[in-house]
Structure 1
Amino acid sequence: MKNFSVKCTDCETSDCWILKFCSKEWIDFVANNKVSHFYKKKQHVIYEKTLMEGIYFIHFGKVKVYKSGIGKKQQIVRLSKTGDILGHRGFNREYWPISAEIIEDSNICLLRIEHFNLLLKNNIELTNHLLLFYVDELFYSEEMARDLSQLSVRERVADALLKIKNAYCPSKEDKCVGVLLSRQDIADIAGTTKEQVSKNLAEFKEEKIINLNNKEIIIEDSDRLNTIANHSRF
């Protein structure tokens, strides 16, 4: 981890919450109070059960957010990217309830919690956006809990591939996922084992739903993956 410097006024991250929902006065406030760092792949931004510091903003990069269970088994709860925030799950807590690990070299800005609280009190658009964001997070968590208990392993692996694609390759023309995430990462999203992921990926390849090129996964038929993931149940 090392320091990097970019002025908020020069930032090209169009999805940054600060730039989108704060007034010019408060953008300047953030610029004067944030701390920015460059992280390499595999480094941690947040460790579960350590002291909560503030809210992180991803200037650019990709991060996996996970919780640790019995035997330190990971459950990936969110895939974050450029423009997203980290640390909101620890908001108003003393210790982090999650960990966040870099999966692609990233620049990330930290705003101390007392400064973030001032932003919320003085920027109603930011507060409203955060509220709606929490609503979406709650819905997603409820979906995840239901899926882990009701979907088959095959359905969960298909769903995990779609989650990765939607997070990091949202364009319909972009078929590639899994370049940055290992088979174990996919298993940690799907709530299964690495061996089950490999088995199901081989079956999907045999059915011409995906193609495999070393660690690269290429989705050839998103519609069939959606059908397998049982997305029609909604």
Structure 2
Amino acid sequence: MGKRKTTPLKDYAPDGHHCSLELKTSKLGMVSFFRDLKQEDLDEIVKRFSATHYREGAEIYYQGDPANYLRVVVDGAVKLLRYTDEGKDVVLDILEPGSYFGSLKLLGSDVYTESAVAQSGCCILSVGLKDFREILQEYPSVGIAILEVSAEKLRSSQEQIKQLTTEPVETRIANILLTLTEKFGENKKEGTLIQLPFSRKDLADMAGTTTESASRVMSNFQKEGIIETGRQWVALKDIKKLRTIIED
């Protein structure tokens, strides 16, 4: 029997160090609609957010719940998914630190249109309607930036739908691996390493295919020397070849 390949993983269990005030402010400043604010503005805005720690697999909110909070990932990763009428899960995205998610009635959503799950242990900032309205009043540029970001999100969603309905499974999975690399990749001796609790089912749900098909594609990628996999990690060894698969 072959020996299971392992690689040292980050400890994703969040603690005070992972959610320090400095880190909170830093990741808040990475949010697209806060990006152009001055440091002193961010120092004030972060005071309106509360921090919560979640263990891996914990539900942050459910699809259909009242949209009461806008949230920001400070540490760890968050999975967004939507349940279809047929009872299937569709993974919409895996969010990295500095990403925002959730919604507020002020932004046009009475309820959450997706569920959010802690993909790893994580630290999340949350802000409610009253505090966010005050932020918009004090910093009008944030409201303008939100409109621009919303338009970009719509374009991105349309592109994702197009890929799921027209692209081959191999292309979809290659795209997902490259996207995860951009968000979580680290240069290691194994290649560009993605250290993340990310199952074949997660990959299949994100690609809009079956677990069996996703496993077959990953196995083929490994045989071709494009990737190497182990427990809770994937190393991209030939990114150029992955890009070729997408472009063909």
Aligning the two structures, in what range does the TM-score lie when normalised by the shorter sequence?
Answer: 0.7 to 0.9
Distance 1:209 1:148 in 2: 22
Q: From 77, 100, 112, give the equivalent of 1:96.
A: 112
Q: Is the contact between residue 44 and residue 101 of structure 1 (CA under 8 Å) also seen in structure 2? A: yes
How many residues align? The count is: 229
* Runs (5+) with no aligned partner, structure 2: 1-13
Q: Is the contact between residue 67 and residue 104 of structure 2 (CA under 8 Å) also seen in structure 1? A: no
Alpha-carbon shift at residue 12 of structure 1 (Å): 4.1
Residues 87-119 of structure 1, C-alpha deviation per residue, up to 9 Å, x if partnerless? 148732221111111112111111102321222
CA 1:14 to 1:67, structure 2 compared with 1: closer, same or farther past 3 Å? closer
Q: Is the contact between residue 19 and residue 27 of structure 1 (CA under 8 Å) also seen in structure 2? A: no
Identify the residue that residue 162 of structure 2 maps to in structure 1.
146
Identify the residue that residue 10 of structure 2 maps to in structure 1.
none
Task: Report the RMSD for the aligned CA atoms in angstroms.
Answer: 3.0
Alpha-carbon shift at residue 79 of structure 1 (Å): 1.8
Give the letter aligned to residue 151 of structure 2.
Answer: V
Alpha-carbon shift at residue 21 of structure 1 (Å): 4.3
Q: Is the contact between residue 176 and residue 219 of structure 1 (CA under 8 Å) also seen in structure 2? A: yes
* Runs (5+) with no aligned partner, structure 1: none
Identify the residue that residue 76 of structure 1 maps to in structure 2.
91
Alignment of 1:218-229 (within 5 A): 218-229=235-246
Identify the residue that residue 13 of structure 1 maps to in structure 2.
27
Identify the residue that residue 195 of structure 1 maps to in structure 2.
212
Q: From 123, 127, 144, give the equivalent of 1:111.
A: 127
CA 1:177 to 1:6, structure 2 compared with 1: closer, same or farther past 3 Å? closer
Distance 2:23 2:165 in 1: 46
Q: Between the two proteins, what is the percent identity of the paired residues?
A: 19
Identify the residue that residue 67 of structure 1 maps to in structure 2.
82
Per the normalisation by structure 2, the TM-score is 0.80
CA 1:215 to 1:7, structure 2 compared with 1: closer, same or farther past 3 Å? closer
Q: Is the contact between residue 3 and residue 36 of structure 1 (CA under 8 Å) also seen in structure 2? A: no
Residues 121-158 of structure 1, C-alpha deviation per residue, up to 9 Å, x if partnerless? 33133223323322321121111111111111121121
Q: Is the contact between residue 25 and residue 42 of structure 2 (CA under 8 Å) also seen in structure 1? A: no
Distance 1:10 1:149 in 2: 38
Per the normalisation by structure 1, the TM-score is 0.84
Point out the structure with the larger helix share: 1
Q: Does 1:180 align with 2:194?
A: no
CA 1:14 to 1:3, structure 2 compared with 1: closer, same or farther past 3 Å? closer
Q: Is the contact between residue 62 and residue 102 of structure 1 (CA under 8 Å) also seen in structure 2? A: yes
